[in-house]
């Protein structure tokens, strides 16, 4: 029986076209999912779209479409982005699916049966852009005297009947859970923020969980005048996808989730509201919620009005999907903010992909093609330099895996790059081109060491750059069914024929 691993991205609002921020979360989650599969896990990887609520209803009206037609169209764009980014999600959930309405109503009924829902009235501020309620004290006033949410979103004053979730009664249990489980929220600083919020004098309040001023949502069971607050339905997607309310099928196998990967904007929904809902419904809590940082583009916040929203498909057309995936995870510490610029993407492509990794592979493989019969060379006696290189190589899978388990993707890549650079230093130092004239046995041994190194590096980089590494592993003579981490223990047999080498990472030259 394989161990299981269940991970999710947020489900994205279909109010507008996806951009690199959305692609970022999908790609990071995909690297993790692919890594875990290669490490022998039975992975369930979920992404999808969040299609209810006032914001989506408004966007549909602005587009002159009925909400279902509109969400069908925009959801298809998100699914297309996932496909183009090579995302290996096992399911793409849409909250307008009948099974999801059923699951949302089921959890509502469970909360109600457990005594955690009551009818009242909401009077206060609401930001449609954030689909979030705000206290008067949280609001800021801009230069025009307009009241705004702390996120900058416009707010409106709402008075309407509403059902409430008794969230306030879960504060103590949430604090205890977070304190007893240091890995429940990452990164560490964000965990402290959540604890600070829960322990603040305002503490946890009851949450308004239904709306009556519009219709685009899941109807509240037994009271059709209300639709559920969009976040209540949205968060439930994580259990809809695995069969809730049926507790015996995939849910029994995959719940609790191993990881909810989200952006920092929605951590509180995932680290406070969702766990409170689960506690109230007598369901186990996810093992971890990790909040990554925020991308700007060429130094500016992405927005339709600035006109700098980048479609990740355009970037993939211009630079390739793998360089884009690599760049997004390499450029900044996962968990902190990043700035996207074409210049830095091109720099990393040329320095790290073309020069460091591409050259190491190209130099080694073309030398073997020309001077060692185009086959896996014979391994020889081990010198101290060889032993050092091999030790670094063999430590990689564990150290990179540990970084990935902490969602430290940047660190995982840096650890691999240190070894790639030491491979380049090794080839320069050992100089097989000189050995060619003096010591063919040693020349072969050096080349074999380089191929053994390249095989490990390419195997471990598959989750980050799946297409390029498939090409690389083809050239290294690694059979398609021997590319998981368990196969690393079986070296390529000497004499294995290698296909003619072809560069995997050309230098990117900006068109004049
Ligand atoms: O919040 N930088 O959906 P959403 C980095 N439907 N990541 C970004 C980003 C940026 N500039 N912009 C967006 C919602 N993201 C809810 C979620 S989950 C039950 C419901 C990513 O379409 C990041 O993952 O606003 C962020 O958390 C998410 O998109 C927000 O997507």
* CB contact burial 139-173 (16+ within 10 A = b; e otherwise): eeeeeeeeebbeeebebeebeeebbbbbbeebbee
Give, for 132, the enclosing helix (H) or strand (E). Answer: strand 132-134
Categorize the per-residue pLDDT at 5 as very low, low, confident or very high, splitting at 50, 70 and 90: very high
Average confidence score pLDDT of the chain:
96
Determine the pLDDT at residue 202.
Answer: 78
Determine the pLDDT at residue 304.
Answer: 74
Better pLDDT: 215 or 203: 215
In this predicted structure, the answer to whether residue 295 has a pLDDT above a threshold of 90 is yes
* Whether the Cβ atoms of residue 100 and residue 236 lie closer than 8 Å to each other: yes
Confirm or reject: Cβ of 296 under 6 Å from ligand 1.
no
Output the pTM of the full model.
0.97
Determine the pLDDT at residue 373.
Answer: 96
User: Going by CA atoms, what residue is nearest to atom 29 of ligand 1?
Assistant: 22
In this predicted structure, the answer to whether residue 512 has a pLDDT above a threshold of 80 is no
Q: Tell me how far apart the alpha carbons of residues 270 and 475 are, in angstroms, rounded to a whole number.
A: 44
In this predicted structure, the answer to whether residue 204 has a pLDDT above a threshold of 90 is yes
In this predicted structure, the answer to whether residue 232 has a pLDDT above a threshold of 90 is yes
DSSP-assigned letter for residue 482: G
Categorize the per-residue pLDDT at 185 as very low, low, confident or very high, splitting at 50, 70 and 90: very high
In this predicted structure, the answer to whether residue 134 has a pLDDT above a threshold of 90 is yes
In this predicted structure, the answer to whether residue 321 has a pLDDT above a threshold of 90 is yes
In this predicted structure, the answer to whether residue 238 has a pLDDT above a threshold of 90 is yes
Residues 6 or more apart whose CB falls under 8 angstroms from that of 419 comprise 392, 393, 396, 453, 457
Determine the pLDDT at residue 162.
Answer: 97
In this predicted structure, the answer to whether residue 305 has a pLDDT above a threshold of 80 is no
At 139-152, the pLDDT tens digits run 999 999 899 999 99
User: Going by CA atoms, what residue is nearest to atom 27 of ligand 1?
Assistant: 263
Give the pLDDT mean for 18-22: 95
C-alpha of 93 from chain center:
16
Helices vs strands, H then E, count in the chain: 19, 17
3-class state of residue 94 by DSSP: strand
DSSP-assigned letter for residue 381: P
At 395-437, the pLDDT tens digits run 999 999 999 999 999 999 999 999 999 999 999 999 999 999 9
Q: 360, 351, 393, 389: which is closest to 501 by C-alpha?
A: 360
Q: Tell me how far apart the alpha carbons of residues 444 and 440 are, in angstroms, rounded to a whole number.
A: 6
> Above pLDDT 90, what percent of the chain?
95
Q: Tell me how far apart the alpha carbons of residues 249 and 221 are, in angstroms, rounded to a whole number.
A: 24
For the CA of 295, the nearest atom of ligand 1: 2
Domain ranges of the chain: 341-489
Q: 202, 206, 208: which is closest to 220 by C-alpha?
A: 208
Q: Report which listed range, 150-154, 356-360, 506-510, is most confident.
A: 356-360
3-class state of residue 512 by DSSP: coil
The residue to mutate among 9, 11, 25, having the most atoms of ligand 1 within 8 angstroms of its beta carbon, is: 25
Categorize the per-residue pLDDT at 203 as very low, low, confident or very high, splitting at 50, 70 and 90: confident
User: Going by CA atoms, what residue is nearest to atom 10 of ligand 1?
Assistant: 21
Concatenate the DSSP letters of all residues of 12-30 into one string. EETTS---HHHHHHHHHHH
Tokens 């450029």 correspond to 331
The residue to mutate among 21, 232, 329, 334, having the most atoms of ligand 1 within 8 angstroms of its beta carbon, is: 21
Q: Which residues pair with 295 in a beta bridge?
A: 338
Q: Tell me how far apart the alpha carbons of residues 433 and 102 are, in angstroms, rounded to a whole number.
A: 68
Q: Tell me how far apart the alpha carbons of residues 396 and 454 are, in angstroms, rounded to a whole number.
A: 12
In this predicted structure, the answer to whether residue 308 has a pLDDT above a threshold of 90 is no
Confirm or reject: Cβ of 265 under 6 Å from ligand 1.
yes
Q: How many residues does this entry show for the chain? A: 512
Give the pLDDT mean for 3-26: 96
C-alpha of 356 from chain center:
26
Q: 502, 505, 511: which is closest to 357 by C-alpha?
A: 505
Q: Does domain 341-489 have CATH number 1.10.730.10?
A: yes
Concatenate the DSSP letters of all residues of 104-165 into one string. HHHHHHHHHHTT-EEEEEEEEEEETTTTEEE-GGG-EE-TTS-EE-TTS-B-EEEEEEEEEE
How many other C-beta atoms can be found within 10 angstroms of the C-beta atom of residue 439? Answer: 14
How many angstroms is it from 150 CA to the middle of ligand 1?
17
How many angstroms is it from 294 CA to the middle of ligand 1?
9
Q: Please confirm whether the linkage preceding 167 is cis (ω < 30° from 0).
A: no
For the CA of 264, the nearest atom of ligand 1: 27
In this predicted structure, the answer to whether residue 205 has a pLDDT above a threshold of 80 is yes
The residue to mutate among 7, 20, 24, having the most atoms of ligand 1 within 8 angstroms of its beta carbon, is: 24
Determine the pLDDT at residue 16.
Answer: 87
């Amino acid at each position: 029986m394989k161990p299981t691993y269940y991970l999710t991205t947020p489900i994205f609002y279909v109010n507008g076209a996806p951009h690199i921020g959305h692609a970022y979360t999908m790609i990071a989650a995909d690297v993790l999912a692919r890594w875990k599969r290669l490490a022998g896990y039975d992975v369930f990887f979920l992404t999808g779209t969040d299609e209810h609520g006032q914001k989506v209803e408004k966007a549909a009206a602005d587009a002159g479409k009925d909400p279902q037609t509109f969400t069908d169209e925009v959801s298809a764009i998100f699914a297309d982005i996932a496909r183009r980014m090579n995302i290996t999600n096992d399911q793409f959930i849409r909250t307008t699916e009948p099974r999801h309405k059923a699951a949302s109503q089921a959890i509502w009924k469970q909360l109600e049966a457990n005594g955690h829902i009551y009818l009242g009235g909401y009077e206060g501020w609401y930001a449609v852009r954030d689909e979030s309620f705000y206290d008067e004290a949280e609001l800021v006033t801009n230069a025009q005297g307009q009241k705004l949410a702390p996120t900058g979103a416009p707010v409106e004053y709402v008075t309407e009947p509403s059902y409430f979730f008794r969230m306030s009664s879960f504060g103590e249990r949430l604090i205890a859970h977070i304190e007893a489980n240091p890995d429940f929220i990452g990164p560490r600083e964000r965990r402290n923020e959540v604890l600070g919020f829960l322990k603040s004098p305002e503490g946890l309040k009851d949450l308004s969980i239904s709306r009556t001023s519009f219709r685009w949502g899941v109807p509240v069971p037994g009271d059709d005048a209300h639709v559920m607050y969009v976040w209540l339905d949205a968060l439930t997607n994580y259990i809809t996808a695995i069969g809730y309310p049926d507790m015996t099928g995939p849910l029994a196998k995959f719940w609790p989730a191993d990881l909810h990967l989200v952006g920092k904007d929605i951590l509180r929904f995932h680290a406070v509201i969702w766990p409170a809902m689960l506690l109230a419904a007598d369901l186990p809590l996810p093992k971890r919620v990790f909040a990554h940082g925020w991308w700007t583009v060429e130094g500016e916040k992405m927005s339709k009005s600035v006109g700098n929203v980048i479609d990740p498909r355009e970037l993939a057309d211009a630079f390739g999907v793998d360089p884009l995936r690599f760049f997004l995870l390499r450029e900044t510490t996962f968990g902190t903010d990043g700035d996207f610029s074409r210049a830095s993407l091109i720099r990393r492509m040329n320095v790290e992909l073309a020069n460091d990794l591409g050259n190491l592979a190209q130099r080694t493989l073309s030398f073997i093609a020309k001077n060692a019969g185009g086959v896996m060379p014979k391994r020889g006696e081990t010198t101290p330099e060889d032993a050092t290189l091999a030790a670094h190589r063999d430590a990689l899978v564990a150290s990179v895996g540990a970084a990935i388990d902490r969602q430290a993707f940047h660190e995982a890549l840096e650890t691999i790059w240190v070894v790639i650079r030491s491979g380049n230093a090794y080839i320069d130092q050992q100089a097989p081109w000189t050995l060619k004239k003096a010591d063919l046995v040693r020349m072969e041994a050096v080349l074999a060491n380089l191929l053994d190194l390249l095989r490990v590096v390419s195997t471990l980089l598959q989750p980050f750059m799946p297409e390029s590494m498939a090409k690389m592993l083809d050239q290294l003579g690694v059979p398609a069914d021997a590319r998981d981490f368990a196969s690393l223990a079986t070296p390529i047999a000497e004499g294995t024929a290698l296909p003619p080498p072809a560069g995997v990472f050309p230098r990117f030259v900006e068109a004049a």
